[in-house]
Amino acid sequence: MAGHFEANPGGGASVALDEVEVAILRSLAVQLLELIGPGDEPAEGEDPLAALFAEGPSEPPSDPALARLFPEAYGDADKELREASAEFRRFTENDLRTRKRDDALAVVRSLDALAPVADSGAVLTLTGDECHHWLGSLNDLRLTIGTRLEVSDEDEGQDGSLYRLPDDDPRKPMVMAYLWLGALQETLVETLMQD
């Protein structure tokens, strides 16, 4: 189980994590929450249903990582498609932000609830629902890190440059995190497909 997810009897998945891995995952999830931003909670006395129908932004985010997490729906080839994308974004981005925030919060909460086993770390056990939150958050983390690293499809290939970075390259720790998150995501998907 060390380093990869395995299926639990009765559903869900488990993975053994050491203290450093827990700290890295938690830190990355918190940073993702900060990037996504706070939710729009209804003000005191405001009708909570009104918040459900609040319109979101119509322009794409200027931050490349956020633009990757909240991409244009129809591209921006011409004026008509830009207008359709803006309209789609206005009515969907707030919900998408909420889902991404919920996914990252589920990761933080499940890591915070871990009980350490001596000095060897802990075993993270997830329910089926928690697995889906983790998949969403692992994907968002990889998209964000990949955007910051300017990763392309060629970089990820077996002979790609990500695997050949010298140890003194300042991007190396983030590349290692990116590849590790990909392995976690892959094993979690494989585990869920066994159900």
**What mean pLDDT, rounded, does the chain reach?**
86
Q: What is the pTM of this model?
A: 0.86
Percent of the chain with pLDDT over 90: 53
What burial class does residue 29 get, using C-beta atoms within 10 Å of its C-beta: 0-12 exposed, 13-18 middle, 19+ buried? buried
DSSP string, 61-94: PSSHHHHHHS--SS-SSSHHHHHHHHHHHHHHHH
Interacting residues of 105 by C-beta distance below 8 A, sequence separation 6+ = 33
Model pLDDT for residues 116-155, shown as the tens digit of each residue: 766 677 999 999 999 999 999 999 999 999 999 988 766 5
Of the ranges 91-95, 160-164, 182-186, which is most confident?
182-186
Residue bearing the bigger pLDDT, 1 or 15: 15
Distance CA 88, CA 74 (A): 9
Distance of CA 160 to the CA centre of its chain: 23
Q: Are 70 and 96 in contact (CB under 8 A)?
A: yes
Residue 76 has pLDDT above 80, yes or no: no
Q: Give pLDDT, residue 1.
A: 44
pLDDT digits (tens, 9 = 90+) for 5-46: 999 988 899 999 998 999 999 999 999 999 999 866 655 666
Please choose, from the candidates 52, 27, 49, 29, the residue with its C-alpha nearest in 3D space to the C-alpha of residue 39: 52
